[in-house]
Amino acid sequence: MPVTTTRDTSELREIAKELRVQIIRLLVEAKSGHPGGSLSEIDILTCLYFGAILRYRPDEPSWPERDRFVLSKGHCTPGYYSTLARAGYFPDEWLMTFRKIGSPLQGHPDRTKGPGVEASTGSLGQGISIALGIAIAAKIDDAPWRTYCMVGDGESESGQVWEAVMSAPKFNLDNFCVIVDNNQVQQTEPVEKIMDLAPLADKYRAFNWHVVEIDGHNFDEILAAFDEAAATKGKPTAIIAHTIKGKGVSFMELSPAWHGKAPSAEEGERAIAEILGGTK
Amino acid sequence: MAATATRQAFGDALVKVGSDPRVVVIDGDTKNSTFTELFAEQYPDRFIELGIAENNMLGVAAGLALSGKIPWAATFSTFIVGRLEVVRMSVCYNEANVRIAGTHVGVGIGDDGASQMALEDIAALRALPNMAIVQPCDSIETHHAVEYLTFEHVGPAFLRLTRQKLEDVHQEGYRFVFGKADQLRQGTDVTLIATGALVQEALAAAKALDGEGVSAGVLNIHTIAPLDVDAIVGAARSTGRIVSAEDHNVNGGLGSAVAEAIAEAGIPARLVRVGTRAFGESGSQEELYDRFGLSATHVADAARSLMG
Ligand SMILES: Cc1ncc(C[n+]2csc(CCOP(=O)(O)OP(=O)(O)O)c2C)c(N)n1
């Protein structure tokens, strides 16, 4: 049974709000995990899973015709699991077991445990190569499904990312779409300070990718970018999504301190109030 | 002193050895996890941030070493063994005096789960002929190890460090001797040969066994390579019963090293290896030590299984 999807951006905005609340709730419960990159990726994941972009069947996770999504920045599981739960892969209650002993929802994605998890990741730089392999497999079989991969901007410092970026155009992978969650901050510092990636879009262009630059929190732009990727023939598409790490919770926004730390119960309440208050 | 994570003791020790201007520290966007941020604050000009690019980090460390610097490259241990061939070629084959600190070892890291847990690093690095492998069991030993490796050791070296806090096993005034096993406790029935976080578990196990009339010795193997074969063979000879204990896969780790030493010496001793045999998972350190059979209770059980 496919989940209900919508192209109405105000509905999508409401879904994203709901998912942001889940992210905070499960982090408070787990007492550890990564809020910053989960809050920055969530509008994009919302469009992928609920904006009629990704084709999937939650009651049949290994449906052969499904589109594939690989979370290469594997630490951002709070956003990913909240999305998968809402998509119907598992009950919401599971989110409260995140990172606990015996839970299918491991700290980093584990495809052998978490329903809907396409690839086990968590060592940065590797997920994009796995996704590339999946896309090549589809090309060999002339299969209709598409492969999406979310990569971090900090992660993009890794040489393996560029090996994958270099290889994808060779195989004319128009079934492959990489989204860079360009949220400006990595674990310890702003990306610009650790290793300036600019001009990132030009780097992808130089490697013969089709490139779309968007505001990764603008639902119209996200949906349009995915449509453009699907319509692009002969080459892979990179969506450079300009986002804000910690988006939606003012005290977390663009702060390295909130890369990998769970909010306390009190901080969580403040965060949720802010998210629901709708202060943009 | 209160229990301290050896990664934190490492960060403190780096600040001390940093007074020597040859010392350079290299980071891969984990300085707040490895505690090299303490060095970065003190000596910003000798702190090199290379981002999430560990191949490059290790190669740069080799280049710095070949140019007379004393480089410490630090990140999660699993991301270091992930670049094993760079360690092999650029560091070891070049005989570059690189010091590598690998943190977040074992299932003891807890919640983050399998992808961040180094359980194969000793096995991988032990196959490199000139790589020294040191795993301190407490804060005091970490300080000594950092000092020794920075100023005295010749050749590449690896320091294995925990995320979780460890009780102090040693007192001030402890003498760390690279390559020499540290006999923490004498025993006549069985010897518990432990490294890193498992040393405190082995000591607790020995205490429990004592209450049952089983006399257990404890040998702390802070230097895994080169191994103190004489001490291990001596223990096998005198007690005939050995338990090895490590937060690492039993295959290729301390347990294997101990088995090799005993077998090659031709000593008729019995051995049980305590360590992991699967990938890790998420949970608290205590829960995981229980689930993976690494707690003091399991070490004691292993010893009991050899009695009678
Ligand atoms: C190979 C590797 N090196 C280091 C780490 C530790 N680490 C986890 S997250 C992170 C920062 C990631 O930054 P970014 O890709 O920008 O992710 P985001 O900001 O979206 O959270 C680091 C260094 C890792 N997981 N993998």
- The pLDDT tens digits for B73-108 are 999 999 999 999 999 999 999 999 999 999 999 999
Specify the pLDDT at position A161.
98
* Degrees to nearest 5, angle at CA A127 with A124 and A130: 145
Helix residue ranges per DSSP H, A51-94: 77-87
Specify the pLDDT at position A3.
81
Cα A47 from Cα A179, distance rounded (Å):
12
| Residue given tokens 């809050």 in the structure block | A39
Amino acid at residue number B128 = L
Alpha carbon of B89: minimum distance to chain A alpha carbons (Å) = 18
Q: What distance in angstroms lies between residue B23's CA and the mean position of ligand 1's atoms? A: 26
A43 reaches B (C-beta below 8 A): no
User: Which tokens hold the place of B75?
Assistant: 């990140």
| CATH 3.40.50.970 location in chain B | 4-166
Q: Is the dihedral of CA B280, B284, B290, B291 positive or negative?
A: negative
Strands B223-225 and B270-276: unpaired
pLDDT digits (tens, 9 = 90+) for B119-174: 999 999 999 999 999 999 999 999 999 999 999 999 999 999 999 999 999 999 99
A75 lines ligand 1 (CB under 6 A): yes
Nearest CA in chain A to B32: A188
Specify the pLDDT at position A280.
46
Task: Check A186 against B115: CB less than 8 A apart.
Answer: no
User: Which tokens hold the place of B177?
Assistant: 């001797």
Nearest CA in chain B to A156: B52
In a domain, A242, yes or no: yes
pLDDT digits (tens, 9 = 90+) for A83-120: 999 999 999 999 999 999 999 999 999 999 999 999 99
Task: Check A187 against B288: CB less than 8 A apart.
Answer: no
Ligand 1 atom closest to the CA of A245, numbered from 1: 19
In a domain, A4, yes or no: no
Confirm or reject CATH 3.40.50.261 for domain B182-307, answering yes or no. Answer: no
What letter would DSSP give residue B118? Answer: B
A250 reaches B (C-beta below 8 A): no
In a domain, A138, yes or no: yes
In a domain, A65, yes or no: yes
Specify the pLDDT at position B38.
98
For B55, which of A106, A122, A159 is closest by C-beta distance?
A: A159
Specify the pLDDT at position B308.
78
Amino acid at residue number B301 = D
The verdict on ipTM greater than 0.85 is yes
Cα A154 from Cα A195, distance rounded (Å):
8
B282 reaches A (C-beta below 8 A): yes
B110: part of which helix (H) or strand (E)?
none
Nearest CA in chain A to B82: A123
Task: Check A121 against B283: CB less than 8 A apart.
Answer: no
A30 reaches B (C-beta below 8 A): yes
Return mean pLDDT, chain B.
Answer: 98
CATH of the domain at A173: 3.40.50.970
Residue B1 pLDDT grade (very low, low, confident, very high; cuts 50, 70, 90): low
Nearest CA in chain B to A162: B53
pTM over 0.95: yes
Residues (pLDDT < 70) of chain A are 1-2, 278-280
In a domain, A60, yes or no: yes
Ligand 1 atom closest to the CA of B79, numbered from 1: 1
Q: Calculate mean pLDDT across residues B199-217.
A: 98
A218 lines ligand 1 (CB under 6 A): no
| Residue given tokens 């919302």 in the structure block | A46
| Residue given tokens 């070949």 in the structure block | B66
CB A252 within 8 A of CB A258: yes
A72 reaches B (C-beta below 8 A): no
Q: Where are the beta strands (DSSP E) in chain B?
A: 4-5, 23-27, 47-49, 70-76, 99-103, 132-134, 157-160, 165-166, 182-185, 190-194, 216-220, 223-225, 241-249, 270-276
Number of domains into which chain A is organized: 1
Task: Check B113 against A122: CB less than 8 A apart.
Answer: yes
B90 reaches A (C-beta below 8 A): no
Task: Check B51 against A154: CB less than 8 A apart.
Answer: yes
A237 lines ligand 1 (CB under 6 A): no
Structural domain of residue A200, as residue ranges? Answer: 9-277
Confirm or reject CATH 3.40.50.880 for domain B4-166, answering yes or no. Answer: no
* Residue of the CA atom closest to atom 22 of ligand 1: A187
Q: What is the 3-state secondary structure (H, E, C) of B196-243?
A: CCHHHHHHHHHHHHHHCCCCEEEEECCEEECCCHHHHHHHHHHHCEEE
Please give the torsion angle defined by the CA atoms of residues B274, B280, B281 and B287, in that order, rounded to the nearest 10 degrees: 20
B102 reaches A (C-beta below 8 A): no
Ligand 1 atom closest to the CA of A153, numbered from 1: 16
Task: Check A106 against B291: CB less than 8 A apart.
Answer: no
User: Which tokens hold the place of B213?
Assistant: 């009339």
Alpha carbon of A155: minimum distance to chain B alpha carbons (Å) = 6
In a domain, A2, yes or no: no
Amino acid at residue number B167 = E
Active-site residue set of B: 54
Cα B106 from Cα A263, distance rounded (Å):
26
Mutate to test the pocket of ligand 1, among A75, A163, A188 (most ligand atoms within 8 A of CB): A75
Provide the 10 A C-beta neighbour count for residue A234: 10
